[in-house]
Amino acid sequence: MCHTGAHKINNTIGQILLAERLGKTRIIAETGAGQHGVATATVCALRGIECIVYMGEVDIKRQAPNVARMKMLGAEVRPAKSGSRTLKDATNEAIRDWIDNPIDTHYIIGSVVGPHPYPDMVARFQAIISKEIRMQLKEQTGQEIPDHIIACVGGGSNAAGALYHFLNEDDVNFILVEAAGKGIDTDHSAATSVLGTHGVIHGSMTLLMQDEDGQIIEPYSISAGLDYPGIGPLHAHLIKTGRAEVHSATDAEALKAAFELTRTEGIIPALETAHAFAILNERKFENDDVVVINLSGRGDKDLATYISHLDRY
Ligand SMILES: *Cc1c(COP(=O)(O)O)cnc(C)c1O
């Protein structure tokens, strides 16, 4: 429900202030669905700083409204034409630009991924989410600690923000939901923690989808915000040590959950977010459990997809 439609703005506001403090005059960013690009273009418009957003050529075609928003906000959208021409390739291009322009340019990365200190820094900017969860829970239930927190995971920033102030609370169970795409056992999935192995991508050691030669396996999901071949190193750690429980939802399960949430609560969620809600149909809880589910974004950008499935739900 945040301005620009998702949690991304928490991070871009923090990073634009940092860029100004560092004396940078040029901002670059990568984007998949366009949400991070829009959030970055928004803070650049606010602060009057030049903005260049790298976006895969394929994503430029399928996320036209967000491309229009970025241009209207005064950003330049540069197509990434290599590889699968999606998020990973846009990230490659942004990192190339950053290496070429180390003096005047700050790279605003969009999730808890990339080289240190980005995973740490982005998690801290998003930590406002769990700070607010604690305050709101206190108001609603009288206590600040929930039994479960559920969040969807692309790179992992909304989940990291929702968990951050509970990381040392052993009684809080973390439930992370990845995109299974057409199914984990098909070639069209983005369930990185199940399909991924130990490796390095974009400067972090983490779990990632790769073949025996270390070449990236293209991820797939109906939601452009979840089809990243890696996950943040924090999440890889939480999963590997058993601190977090991980689930996945398919395209069809996410669509069903999106329509259910819309019709029961009057909230049209982002397709990414709908994956988190989808697991409520299978994961059972105790009657008196306090369950927090992070609604990472609203569904305006996904209306075309929802409309094309309207007759089925
Ligand atoms: C970008 C995005 C995501 C996925 O990114 P994370 O870093 O995993 O949070 C999830 N939901 C929405 C609405 C998004 O825009």
pLDDT category at 84 given cuts 50, 70, 90 is confident
Return d(Cα 210, Cα 195) in angstroms, integer: 9
Which of 152, 223, 261, 268 should be mutated for ligand 1, with most atoms under 8 A from CB?
A: 152
Q: How far is the CA of 143 from the centre of ligand 1 (A)?
A: 28
pLDDT tens, 119-159? 999 999 999 999 999 999 999 999 999 999 999 999 999 99
pLDDT band, very low/low/confident/very high, at 63 (cuts 50, 70, 90): confident
Task: Tell whether the model's pLDDT for residue 225 goes beyond 90.
Answer: no
Q: What is the pLDDT of residue 227?
A: 82
CATH assignment, 8-110: 3.40.50.1100
Residue 224 has pLDDT above 90, yes or no: no
Percent of the chain predicted with pLDDT > 70: 100
> Is 256 tagged catalytic?
no
pLDDT tens digits along 146-202:
999 999 999 999 999 999 999 999 999 999 999 999 999 999 999 999 999 999 999
Give the list of residues 6+ apart from residue 120 with CB closer than 8 angstroms, or none. none
| Rounded distance from Cα 60 to ligand 1 centre (Å) | 17
pLDDT higher than 90, residue 33: no
Q: What is the mean pLDDT of residues 271-287?
A: 96
Residue 176 phi, psi dihedral angles, 5° rounding: -100, 140
Q: Is the pLDDT of residue 1 over 90?
A: no
Query: Residue 50: which of 22, 28, 78, 82 has the closest Cα?
Result: 28
User: Of the residues 30, 93, 178, 253, which is catalytic?
Assistant: 30
For CATH 3.40.50.1100, the residue range(s) in the chain are 8-110, 127-308
* Dihedral sign for Cα atoms in the order 167, 171, 172, 173: positive
Give the binding-site residues of ligand 1, using a 6 Å CB cut-off: 6, 8, 35, 111, 152-158, 225-226, 270, 272-273, 296-297
pLDDT band at 228 (very low <50, low <70, confident <90, very high): confident
pLDDT at residue 51 is higher than 90:
yes
Q: What mean pLDDT is predicted for residues 226-239?
A: 94
pLDDT of 249 reads 98
Is the pLDDT score of 214 beyond 90? Answer: yes
Among this protein's residues, is 30 annotated catalytic?
A: yes
Sheet holding 148-152, edge to edge: 244-250, 173-181, 148-152, 291-293
What average pLDDT score do residues 219-234 get?
91
Average pLDDT for 279-307: 95
- pLDDT at position 156: 97
Average pLDDT over residues 99-122: 97
Residue 255 and residue 222 in contact, taking contact as beta carbons nearer than 8 Å: yes
Q: How far is CA 19 from the centre of its chain?
A: 22
| Sign of torsion over alpha carbons 10, 13, 18, 19 | positive
Rg (CA), the chain: 18
Going from the Cα of 228 to the center of ligand 1, the distance in angstroms, rounded, reads 11
26-31/244-250 β-pairing: unpaired
Provide the CATH number for the domain formed by 127-308 in this structure: 3.40.50.1100
Q: Confirm whether 138 is a catalytic residue.
A: no
The span from the CA of 221 to the CA of 202, in Å, is: 20
Considering the chain, what is the average pLDDT of its residues?
A: 96
With tokens 């200190």, the residue in question is: 117
| Whole-structure pTM value | 0.96
pLDDT tens digits, residue range 236-252?
999 999 999 999 999 99
In angstroms, the Cα distances linking 143 to 128, 137, 146, 147, 285 are: 18, 6, 8, 11, 19
Ligand 1 atom 1: residue of nearest CA = 225
